[in-house]
Amino acid sequence: MCLQLFDLSGKTALVTGSSRGLGRAFAEGLGKAGARIILNGTNEVGLAKTAAALGANGLDVTTAAFDITDETAVKGTFDKFDKDGVTVDILVNNAGIQFRKPMLELETADWQRVIDVNLTAAFVVGREAACRMSSRGSGKIINIGSVMSTVARATIAPYSVSKGGIKLLTQAMAAEWSSMGIQANAIGPGYMETDMNEALIADHDFNAWVKSRTPSRRWGAPEELVGTAIFLASNASNYVSGQIIYVDGGMTSVL
């Protein structure tokens, strides 16, 4: 009985920014739990390569190439889902960019781009998905935050602000959409070994700092986020809404 709680068979999950990195890990994990996966990104070649790789592992994978910051493209994609009879039961708002620069040197355009991709797009895609989930009376929205949803680090202000916003957007979604049968929650990854952090991992001093600042004394592997994603995507979390779960080796729990 208890494992059925985590079974995603018959569900369709859209994961934004999923041709590589954490998005790919989320897509693969939800697929292995039985969900049909829709990969998203703007690079059709990269998407097709990842779809082929996951498909070769027996997963049910399709792709939807659209720019999450282009509202017309987002609406058009969901209209096409409607026409094709595709229901997005699970939305993982994963796509995100990083931009590291001290605020005194930061151009407003660079600030805005990070907010547009990491936060506003999660609202726009979330709204399109939730509008359809509400008519079905059920749905799961998983927003990807960060340890930066609750603490700041110098030189990544727009990223931190966007991830702080993701935490409260998740709570706002819960406030408005839980009564419609939608559960909206967030995952806050710690320092994970991904392309986005390649330069940090290679930096000896920064790498040493992460290990000393993390009680688990190591970087996280993307796959270590999958269990939390399956939980939040499944019936096991039907009475959980508005929460953020930090998967960070204990980092946000200690000084």
Contacts with ligand GCO, residue ranges (CB under 6 A): 98, 100, 146-148, 153, 156, 159, 189-191, 196-197, 200
Partner touching 96 among ligand GCO, Ca ion, none, CB below 5 to 8 Å by kind: none
65/40 Cα distance (integer angstroms): 5
Give the residue with the Cβ less far from ligand GCO, 56 or 104: 104
Partner touching 247 among ligand GCO, Ca ion, none, CB below 5 to 8 Å by kind: none
Query: Catalytic positions, please?
Result: 159
Least gap, CB of 163 to ligand GCO (angstroms): 7
Sheet holding 90-93, edge to edge: 61-65, 36-41, 12-15, 90-93, 139-144, 182-189, 244-247
Chain-centre distance for alpha carbon 253? 22
User: In one letter, which amino acid is 104?
Assistant: L
Q: Report residue 167 as tokens.
A: 């935490």
Least gap, CB of 194 to Ca ion (angstroms): 9
Residue span 188-207 as binding mask against Ca ion, x where in contact by CB under 5 A, dash where not: -------x------------
Q: Which residue is nearest to ligand GCO (CB)?
A: 146
3-state SS string for 91-148: EEECCCCCCCCCHHHCCHHHHHHHHHHHHHHHHHHHHHHHHHHHHHCCEEEEEECCHH
Partner touching 153 among ligand GCO, Ca ion, none, CB below 5 to 8 Å by kind: ligand GCO
Contacts to Ca ion by CB under 5 A: 195
